A and B are shown apart, each in its own frame.
Chain A
């Protein structure tokens, strides 16, 4: 029974009883005694107290019911929200195969003495597939304009294409076409948004370079942390270069041996030591039998040393980026037919560069912090017994402006000094963006 009803009933009964008692008394006895009055008052107080108590209890019961309902509703809402988020996350989850297009693009102007000035542009898309935790596939295309001498139109090259397997934290193996780890420029620095100057240094030049840019073959590489610093390594075997036995470049190496033409392979490797995060020194080597079929036995032995020092220092209010690389190449003596006469010579060469860049990243003023000043000296020494033998050295100076971490505008001037032939001083403007 409802407690309020019980109280009301009690009150009604009490009132009725009091009235009946009053009616039963004689008319002359209308007034209640003090004792009776006190008794009724006391009873009324008791009933009132009980009513208040019942009301309080009922209000508490109603509140408890309301709170429980609210909590249930809130839980339902949270469950629904979590479910919605899970649904959204499922649409974003990559699965075991993930894919990304990255790379870089560039546009520029080059005015080289002895050649027509020209605008140029290109793009190198890099396609990356991550297949699970251990398999990784990457390929890089190079798309740029070709001169009429090179056939004109647009050049489309497969720069790299390789499949990698991450064996453990310290070892990766792979196969395909990969940047040759001979020195560090080709492997790490050649992207136009990374290279501090618009052109490539002489040892890695597209036409005069003596280090193979990319190799088709297999490799193993990795890195260790040791108590004396970081160690990294790479070993590889590939198609290797072949020997040019005729034409203007007789005696030099041809690195476009994409499909092996001489059935001779090259082996090589590099080891790098990082005693401090800002300093690395490395040594690379490559050994290859380079003679084409029907030519006498010729081997090429190439070595390279590299040194990098990249550090931000408060004392100079910025970052310095200092690099030295030098490549030494020994090609066995061989007899070539030049202008109808036999000529025997070796084609030993060496080439290298020293480059210093400074960017005032800790100075006041955004414009100053985005500027970078670059100077480079590079040199190529060719055996004097070889055709066109002698040395070439260049001095390049540049100013870069960084629009963001991977977009740069470069202006540079290069002074050329050749022992043979005309000097080819050059002026460059280039914009490059990594994406």
Chain B
């Protein structure tokens, strides 16, 4: 019985962690309350909304996503190359996030 309960609890927690719960992009600039859905890297569409989600979720893997107005367009081009190297981004991801940041 205890074993069954433990298995059920484990399954529930895992289901919640990896799929069941609603998720939002974790851009946590104070005041930000945007809500979205989880995105698989391989299926991210190259849309501005997709780029926005890619930006918030990719940055938040390591640190709070910096606001698009933290740097100007030229500076973002440098920062995103730095982030591609340090954060292990593909060239496509770098360009998509840069496009989003420069369009804001």
Which residue numbers of A lie inside 8 Å of B, CB to CB? 92, 94, 98-100, 102, 126, 128, 130, 136, 138, 164, 166, 168-170, 172, 174, 179, 187-189, 191, 193-194, 221-230, 232-234, 272, 274, 276-280, 308-315, 319, 359, 361-362, 366, 369-370, 402, 404-406, 434
Distance of A187 Cα from B85 Cα, bound (Å): 10
A-chain residues with CB within 8 Å of residue B87 when the two chains form the complex: 188
Question: Which secondary structure dominates chain A's binding surface?
Answer: strand
- Is A361 within 8 A of B33, CB to CB? yes
Complex partner residue of A311 from B26, B41, B53, B86, CB under 8 angstroms: B26
Q: Which of B22, B30, B31, B93 contacts A315 (CB 8 A)?
A: B22
In chain A, what residue has the closest Cβ to B25?
A312
- Are A361 and B62 in contact, CB atoms less than 8 angstroms apart? no
A194 touches B63 (CB 8 A): yes
Q: Which residues of A have CB within 8 Å of B78? A: 98-100, 128, 130
How far does the alpha carbon of A241 sit from the alpha carbon of B18 in the complex, in Å?
Answer: 39
Q: Which of B16, B17, B24, B42 contacts A362 (CB 8 A)?
A: B24
Beyond contacts A130-B77, A232-B88, A315-B16: 12 other A-B pairs, Cβ-Cβ < 8 A, are A126-B82, A128-B78, A138-B85, A169-B91, A194-B63, A221-B88, A225-B90, A229-B42, A315-B22, A319-B26, A361-B26, A362-B33
The answer on a CB contact under 8 Å between A225 and B21 is: no
Best-surrounded residue of B18, B21, B32, B85 (most CB of chain A within 10 A):
B85
* Residues on the A chain within 8 Å of B67, using CB: 404-405
Asked if residues A223 and B77 are in contact (CB atoms below 8 Å), the reply is no
**Shortest CB distance A364–B (Å):** 10
17 pairs of residues in contact across A and B, judged by CB atoms under 8 Å = A92-B74, A126-B82, A138-B82, A138-B85, A189-B62, A233-B88, A272-B88, A274-B61, A278-B38, A315-B16, A319-B26, A369-B31, A402-B28, A404-B67, A405-B28, A406-B64, A434-B63
The residue from B17, B35, B91 contacting A170, defined by CB atoms under 8 A apart: B91
User: Is A223 touching B88 in the complex (CB atoms < 8 A)?
Assistant: yes
Chain B hits for A138, CB < 8 A: 82, 85
Q: For B29, what are the chain A residues with a Cβ–Cβ distance below 8 Å?
A: 404-405
Query: Is B52 an interface position by the 8 A CB rule?
Result: no
Report the interface size class on chain B: 35 or more
Q: Write out, one digit per residue, whether chain B residues 56-88 have a CB within 8 A of any chain A CB (1) or not (0).
A: 011011111111001100110111011011111
Q: Which residue of B lies closest to A184 (CB)?
A: B62
**Which of A169, A170, A402 is the one whose CB lies under 8 Å from B30?**
A402
Contact assessment for A369 and B30 in the assembled complex, using a CB-CB cutoff below 8 Å: yes
B92 interface residue (CB < 8 Å to A) = yes
Known A-B contacts A276-B18, A277-B61, A362-B24; the reply to A225 vs B92 at CB < 8 A is yes
Q: Cβ of B28: which chain A residues have Cβ within 8 Å of it?
A: 312, 319, 359, 361, 369, 402, 405
Report, nearest first, the 6 A-B pairs whose CB atoms are least far apart.
A169-B91, A232-B88, A312-B26, A277-B57, A230-B41, A405-B64
Contact check, A136 vs B85: say whether CB atoms are below 8 A apart: yes
Residues from chain B with a CB closer than 8 A to the CB of A230 are 41-42, 90
Residue in A234, A274, A359, A362 whose beta carbon sits within 8 Å of that of B41 in the complex: A274
List B contacts of A277 (CB < 8 A): 38-41, 53-54, 57-58, 61
* Nearest-CB residue, chain A, relative to B31: A366
Q: A128 is contacted by which of B42, B82, B93 (Cβ under 8 Å)?
A: B82
Task: Output the nearest chain B residue to A319 by Cβ-Cβ distance.
Answer: B26
Q: A221-B88, A232-B88 are in contact. Are A313 and B30 (CB under 8 A)?
A: no
B74–A229 CB distance below 8 A: no
- A residues less than 8 Å from B63 (CB atoms): 191, 193-194, 406, 434
- In the complex, B12 has a CB within 8 A of chain A: no
Instruction: Please determine whether A278 and B23 come into contact, CB atoms closer than 8 angstroms.
Output: yes
Bound: A269/B85 CA distance, A? 15
Interface centre among B42, B54, B67 (most CB of A within 10 A): B42
**Cβ of B77: which chain A residues have Cβ within 8 Å of it?**
94, 98, 130
In the complex, which of the residues B61, B66, B71 contacts A405, with contact meaning CB atoms closer than 8 Å? B66
Query: With A98-B74, A309-B17 in contact, is A370–B30 under 8 Å at CB?
Result: yes
Are A225 and B30 in contact, with the CB atoms below 8 A? no
Q: B32 and A225: CB pair below 8 A?
A: no
Interface centre among B21, B28, B31, B93 (most CB of A within 10 A): B28
Question: A194 — which chain B residues lie within 8 A by C-beta?
Answer: 62-63
A9 to B23: give the CA distance in the assembly, Å: 90
Shortest beta-carbon distance from B48 to chain A in Å: 17
